[in-house]
Each structure stands twice: as C-alpha cells, then as structure tokens.
Chains A and B, each alone.
Chain A
C-alpha cells in the first residue's frame, strides 16, 4: 500500500474505466493516477477496483461535481459522499474546477465559468474553505477552458485564482491546455496568464488534446481531451515548467480513448520535458 498523503512526482495519467483491467493486469510503471470521484460514488464494484489500483499507485481524486461557483449552497450530500471516498482511498491529491453547474435542482455537466467579481470570489472562497474543512485536506482548484467571458467580470481569471488561493489557502491546478484553448477562444495572453499565477500555489499541471473546429468561419478550440497534446500546448508546458518548477503533471484523455500505451507514451514525453527543464534550472543556478 502506498502511504497516504504521499505527494506524486513525475507524470501520471487519467485512469478511465476502459483501462482499469489492463492496468491491474500489467501494472505499468506510471508514478500516479487520477480519477473522477463521481465515477466511484455509486458503484460498489467500481469502488472495489479503485481500491485494487490504490494498493499499488498513488491516486488523485479530480472532482467535476461540486459546482464551487454556484451562488447557492454546496450540495452537502455530494460533499459527504466525496468525504467517504476520500477516507476510503486516501488520495495523494484532491482537486476541483473553478466553475458552476447547478441551479434549481438541475445539474448540467458543462463546467461553465463564472463572472470574476469580488462577490463571486467571496462565494467561491467560502465554498473552498468548507470543502477543505470537510475533507480535512487542502484542495487544488483548476482553471476552466472557456468559450465566453462575462461582461460583469472586474478582474482577470488568473488574478481571481491567485486571490482565491490566498484567501482560501487552496492550491492551484494549472491546466495548460485550458489556458491555450481559452486564450484562443476569448482572446487572452497565455504567457501573461502564467505570469499572473502565484508559482508556490501551483501544485499540479494538466495536459490534454483539444479539437480545432469551425464555427461559422471562425476557428474555435474545443477542450475535448480527444487527441495527443498539441505542439503549442507542449510549448506552453515548457513555459509553465520554467515558472513553476517540476510540478506533478497529468495526461488527460476522455474522448476517443486510445490504448493505454498511448497515454503512457505521452506521460514519458512530459517527463522528458520536466527533466530538461530541471537541468536548465540547475545550470542557471550554477552560472
């Protein structure tokens, strides 16, 4: 059994149900794995398989269901079930999204961004604090992929995240693909975005593929996690490593899921970039 709370190093992969049996049979050398807790809150059979995985690998729980940006109260039933899973799995990391999904009892799984205002910051910071208190650990908050910005926003997204980390004491999950996608779709400067994030708070990086679609003659990038990491995202990842250091990184893939080996190969590519980035840092220090 991996010790609870042990922080992952290197590049892990997002584990999807289609790969669980193969992973358990082969036990490939991958330093850690990440799953969506929502897939393990209901099925006893699925949860038993996750416990088998957990015996050999650190597991990170990456939630999509808390809707931290909701103006109303958090779904305490869902939070309680998440707490039970955290107690059972003893994850190495717990993370959620900066988004909102619930209103009037309906839950829409679209991870919609928020208007970035003082008012919404106070709401999200309070929700994050409640989650951390309930789970008994610091959580990481991920930047969303955006297809729109709200007129009411009075601050930028990275400034909002920086202030959230300061107020709530949470960490940040920097999704480099999301920054690239959002930068293209809503006109942000990706390098300036990285500069605005507080480096000590960034505790995980996500990498994934995106689709390039046409919307009435204008190119729109869709964060569909359905292809290899694109060259501009690898370039932005190097920039992120230069700013944040060798942060644990994760390869995500959800649409058109390929063979497990394809994900493992992407993870090795990220590890290679981390090693080179580390060397550059060492040389810079020595010089």
Chain B
C-alpha cells in the first residue's frame, strides 16, 4: 500500500490483471488521486504559505510532506498539523526562516475556525470562590484556543498576504506573542505583551492561577484576570485540591 505513495512496486503490479489498462497506469490513477486531494487539502489550510512560496514550490513541498507524513485518518480537515514542523526541517525552505511560524499561525487559525465560539465563563460562580482558594483556580481553555510566539512578525506577514502579489512587511519589526481563538465574529488573533502571553498560555496549559501568576508582576495581576475574563478565552474553571489533582 505504501508503494502507492511512490513508484508502483513490481510485486503490486504483478497482482493486477493485464487485460485492461496497463497495471502501472491503473495504479498511477490512484496515486494521482491521493496526491491531488491531499495537496488541495493542504492548500486550503495554508493559503498564505502557498502565496509566500509560489504555488509550484508549494506543490513540491506538499508532495514531499505527503510521502513523509501520510494521513492517519480519513478526515481531510484534520490533515496538516505536522506540516509547519516539516517546513522547518525542509532544506529548500532554509532561506525563509519565518515560513514555519506563518504555517503554525495558519494551522491555529484553521483549528479555531472549526471550533464553536467560546461560551462566557460563569462569572457569578467565579465571584463566589473564597479568596483563600483563588490561587488554586484552574481554568479550561475554550476549544480552538492556541498560543504562538515567534521572533518574526508573522501576524503582519499573514495579514499582508491575504491577496496575491503583496510585498513582505518589515521582517525586522520584531517578535510577536499571539493568542488565536474562535469568537462569534470569526477567528480572532490577539497580539499580547510577553507577560500576558506567558500568563494566559500557562493557564491554558492547565497551571493553577497561583502558578501562572509568577509570569506577571503583582501590580497588574488583577487587570490581567479582568482581561482574560473579558476575552472569553476560558470556558470553565475548577479548584485544584491540595494534592494538586
């Protein structure tokens, strides 16, 4: 079966009747279908990467990716999570060091676009948590929420390439700390400062409020909490027990 990803193996050709199409030509039809549909699936998830590298180069990279990482399941819209990491190791992409992070941003946008818009947290319930338990609060991230930091201005690169033929923005514009998530109006990309980013990412990863608070100065902790409550990035909370469960 794997030989359908490369040249048909002679052993496979031997299994096929020779009275219809040439066996190798028949196998090539299946091979072509697999690569065409999977390349199209990658193109729909990574349109900006495709614009940045040129469609022919994208097809070349997609071809190599499909051989190295065939899908693990039948849902095409779940295919491509490993593509950014593949691009980071792909020799031909070396001159474009920011490209894997643009791909990571597109994958995060894709996942957020499929998720339901975040339900607001039960703020009345949260208000009832005694102050002594606050440090042990643990929040549940809304489905589709992602955090992405990059030494490149990938949000500006992404925005500038929503259409063909656009110039790259100033790559020296510096690092970004982004939060990507679903909203009622579509996918929202928030640009955060490094402290807020670390704080929210720690919470999204399941750290308690007490643990995550190490990332931000005490003076701004309250405004940080108000900030993430207003942004609907967490959908629920629990209070961790003493043993950390």
Q: Are B30 and A39 in contact (CB under 8 A)?
A: no
Q: Which residues in A have their C-beta under 8 angstroms from that of B71? A: 106-109
| Contact A149 to B20, CB < 8 A, known contacts A107-B74, A109-B71, A109-B74 | yes
Query: Which label, helix, strand, loop or mixed, suits the secondary structure of the A interface?
Result: mixed
Q: Are B72 and A110 in contact (CB under 8 A)?
A: no
Expressed in whole angstroms, the minimum distance between the Cβ of B240 and any Cβ of chain A is 28
Complex Cα distance A45/B113, Å? 8
Q: Are B30 and A218 in contact (CB under 8 A)?
A: no
Contact mask A25-50 → B, CB, 8 Å, 1/0?
Answer: 00000000000001101111110100
Q: Which residues in A have their C-beta under 8 angstroms from that of B182? A: 45
Q: Are A110 and B77 in contact (CB under 8 A)?
A: no
Q: Which of B1, B5, B33 lies in contact with A109, CB distance below 8 A?
A: B33
Q: Which residues in A have their C-beta under 8 angstroms from that of B16? A: 148-151
Q: Are A44 and B115 in contact (CB under 8 A)?
A: yes
Q: Which of A97-105, A165-173, A270-278 contacts B (4 or more CB under 8 A)?
A: A97-105
How many positions in chain B have a CB within 8 Å of any CB in the partner chain? 39
Q: Are B15 and A150 in contact (CB under 8 A)?
A: yes
Contact mask A61-100 → B, CB, 8 Å, 1/0?
Answer: 0001111000000010010000000000000000000000
Closest to A213 in B: B29
Query: Interface residues, chain A, CB within 8 Å of chain B?
Result: 38-39, 41-46, 48, 64-67, 75, 78, 101, 103-110, 112, 115, 147-152, 185-187, 215-216, 218, 220, 222
Query: Interface residues, chain B, CB within 8 Å of chain A?
Result: 1-2, 4-5, 14-17, 19-23, 25-31, 33-34, 37-38, 70-78, 113-116, 143, 182
Instruction: List, sorted by A's number, 19 A–B pairs whose CB atoms are closer than 8 Å.
Output: A39-B75, A43-B77, A45-B115, A65-B75, A101-B74, A103-B1, A107-B73, A108-B4, A109-B33, A109-B71, A110-B31, A147-B29, A148-B20, A149-B17, A150-B16, A185-B26, A215-B22, A216-B22, A220-B29
